[in-house]
Structure 1
Amino acid sequence: MKRILITGENSYIGTSFDAFMKQYQDDYIVDTISVRDDEWKQKDFSLYDAIYHVAGIAHADVGKVSKEQQELYYKVNRDLTYEVAKKYKEDRKDSFSQFIYMSSIIVYGDNVSIRKKRVITKETKPNPSNFYGDSKLQAELKIQPLADDNFQVCIIRPPMIYGPNSKGNYPQLRKLALKLPVFPDIPNERSMLFVGNLMIFIKEMISKCYYTGIYYPQNVEYVRTSYLVKEIANAHGKKIKLVKLGNWGVYLLSYIPGKIGNLTNKAFGNLVYEKTNCSIAIYDFSETILESERKTE
């Protein structure tokens, strides 16, 4: 029986993994812990075969964050991650251990365009475009030297994650899907990751003792924004018409400097990981949307 500790007890990913693993209680014991204060430092990490570190400050409107708040991002996303990993290695001594860090595709920067397809490969070098992405990358760089034959450091760089009650871009697109009668059919492609696929990937990573390294889990299919919106509408028995007639107007909006152009490129931009052995085909795309909508409160 393996014991797993999740740091970040109220996080979306942490609670999702905890709930997912309840079906495997005969083989795994899963505990969660908050690392908001210093109480975690008294926890005995030697009990755990793996730590899934998902605690951190999530993406915010980076244009409206003070210098003090930026420093907090580094304190939590970089320094706390290292402190947890270092304590885990010290507590476990020479016992085999696995530290899994939840990073993000954001380490490559958030530059996306409706006019050009951007493909990230294993050779693509990280290039954060703001302090949030840099704080995640700096955490990776700090914990990687801890790795040795007995202490695995596994870094996960997922693309946009969606699922029941998820946060971020998905609920914004959901609102549009349930309100609009028509939607632009822009032929873009995005790598995305259903939370259920991520849970399966993490479980396999722990059960099979994946080696130290960086991993890029994603759905097997790239996603077109318009198809995502249509699938959400279909899940509610609502018909939404995809139209190409006004696409030229959407492309024009992407050229406008500032918020309008940024939002247009964010919604319809192209950003994908190359297809790798980390592409997960457990659920097809339509199934993931039905599952997400069925369980969303």
Structure 2
Amino acid sequence: MTERVLVTGAAGFVGSQLVARLAEQSSFSVWGTARAKLEGHHSELISVGEVNGDTDWSKALEGQRVIIHAAARAHIMDEAAADPLAEFRRVNVAGTLNLARQASEAGVWRFVFISSIKVNGEQTSPGHVFTAEDSPAPEDAYGISKREAEQGLQKIVQETGMEVVIIRPPLIYGPGVKGNFASMVRLVAKGLPLPLGAIHNKRSLVALDNLIDLIITCIDHPAAANQVFLASDGEDLSTSELLRRVGTAMGKPVRLLPVPAPLLQFGATVLGKKAMAKRLLGSLQVDIAKARDVLGWSPPLSVDEGLRRCFIDNQDV
């Protein structure tokens, strides 16, 4: 039987590729929503306008069985809002819960929510990894909003019986990626020496293709119901090793200078770049054992293949 699936945020980095992958499979009838009507998508794309607590989802929800909610106000590098938490809550909390309530009323069976590892926290200490069972400890406005959305969804589960699956990915990379990963790629492309050769942290990432594979697994897997899963490639890299792997994937030499981490931390503090230093110098490790054990899922791509796919079509991000 063909499963009807609705993907919100179908024009976004994750949503657009997810829609394309689902459309290739005969077992799914895929629809997508975006803020505005876009052409060229392999789905029925419905414009819903801005996502918030007042969005009318009725047209998009008609006949749907599964929702994959990828639409969100994402982590913003240069935040301009006077009250960032209020803005994140408006979209990520009120918008998500409004959709979930309308979905349950429309007879949707399963709601897959793309959350964030930021719900767990910003950093792991040596010898510790984040798990799906950890007590949430979000620090920034984005992570707080995702945690509050998760809590609201779990309440809706208790009230309505609609199944909810929560997926928390770390940094996602793939063709067309933006943000911090794209900035790093640009530095590698320029061939400039980078003072990160002595960084021995450990960070988990997830290739876009691996994340999409996990999401699709969660669409109809019986054991996924009302569970939280963490996503990653299953291999953790130091910042210096990641830069070398990116260089290999791009066919570019990488020049790394062995500047001690404490000196870099001091310089970042002086320049007001403590958050950036935390990402470059700190560790954030994710344990995907639950997804392996409960779902029988393993990342289909290695880190090297995931990075290679970032640069198949062009060398710029």
Are residues 100 and 11 of structure 1, via their aligned partners in 2, closer, same or farther at CA, if it must alter by over 3 Å? same
Q: Distance in 1 between matches of 2:113 and 2:61?
A: 16
Provide the secondary structure at the position in 2 that maps to 1:294. Answer: coil
| 1:160 and 2:178 matched | no
Provide the secondary structure at the position in 2 that maps to 1:120. Answer: coil
Provide the secondary structure at the position in 2 that maps to 1:3. Answer: strand
Letter of the 2:102 partner, please give it.
K
Would the aligned equivalents of 1:117 and 1:270 in 2 still touch at CA under 8 Å? no
1:39 deviation in Å?
6.4
| RMSD value, Cα | 2.4
Would the aligned equivalents of 1:101 and 1:155 in 2 still touch at CA under 8 Å? yes
| 1:140 and 2:150 matched | yes
| 1:58 and 2:74 matched | yes
Q: Distance in 1 between matches of 2:171 and 2:300?
A: 17
Q: Distance in 2 between matches of 1:202 and 1:123?
A: 19
Are residues 278 and 218 of structure 1, via their aligned partners in 2, closer, same or farther at CA, if it must alter by over 3 Å? farther
Q: Pick one of 200, 216, 220 that aligns with 2:213.
A: 200
Count of residues paired in the alignment: 287
Would the aligned equivalents of 1:50 and 1:206 in 2 still touch at CA under 8 Å? yes
Are residues 117 and 63 of structure 1, via their aligned partners in 2, closer, same or farther at CA, if it must alter by over 3 Å? farther
Q: Distance in 2 between matches of 1:293 and 1:121?
A: 31
Q: Which residue of 2 aligns with 1:83?
A: 98
Are residues 235 and 63 of structure 1, via their aligned partners in 2, closer, same or farther at CA, if it must alter by over 3 Å? closer
Q: Which residue of 1 aligns with 2:283?
A: 270
Give a deviation string over 1:222-280, Cα, whole Å, max 9, x none: 12222222222222322224443x3x2x3222145362333222112111113414363
Q: Pick one of 135, 149, 164 that aligns with 1:125.
A: 135
| 1:169 and 2:186 matched | no
Letter of the 1:124 partner, please give it.
D
Q: Distance in 1 between matches of 2:299 and 2:191?
A: 30
Q: Which residue of 1 aligns with 2:87?
A: 72
Letter of the 1:29 partner, please give it.
S
Provide the secondary structure at the position in 1 that maps to 2:24. Answer: helix
1:63 deviation in Å?
6.5
Give a deviation string over 1:118-158, Cα, whole Å, max 9, x none: 52133421122122211111111111122259521111111
Provide the secondary structure at the position in 1 that maps to 2:97. Answer: helix
Are residues 130 and 241 of structure 1, via their aligned partners in 2, closer, same or farther at CA, if it must alter by over 3 Å? closer
Q: Distance in 1 between matches of 2:220 and 2:299?
A: 19
Would the aligned equivalents of 1:112 and 1:266 in 2 still touch at CA under 8 Å? no
Letter of the 1:273 partner, please give it.
V
Q: Distance in 2 between matches of 1:23 and 1:61?
A: 34
Q: Point out where structure 2 has 5 or more consecutive residues left out of the alignment.
A: 35-47, 293-297
Q: Which has the higher contact order (CA 8 A, sep 6+)?
A: 1
% of aligned pairs identical? 26
Q: Distance in 2 between matches of 1:51 and 1:63?
A: 29
Q: Which residue of 1 aligns with 2:45?
A: none
Q: Distance in 2 between matches of 1:64 and 1:159?
A: 24
- TM-score, normalised via structure 1 length: 0.87
Flag the structure with higher strand content. Answer: 1
Q: Point out where structure 1 has 5 or more consecutive residues left out of the alignment.
A: none
Q: Distance in 1 between matches of 2:146 and 2:140?
A: 10
Q: Distance in 2 between matches of 1:91 and 1:4?
A: 13
Q: Pick one of 112, 121, 124 that aligns with 1:100.
A: 112
Q: Which residue of 1 aligns with 2:24?
A: 23
Are residues 122 and 201 of structure 1, via their aligned partners in 2, closer, same or farther at CA, if it must alter by over 3 Å? closer
Provide the secondary structure at the position in 1 that maps to 2:89. Answer: helix
Q: Which residue of 2 aligns with 1:222?
A: 236
Q: Distance in 1 between matches of 2:81 and 2:307?
A: 33
1:99 deviation in Å?
0.2
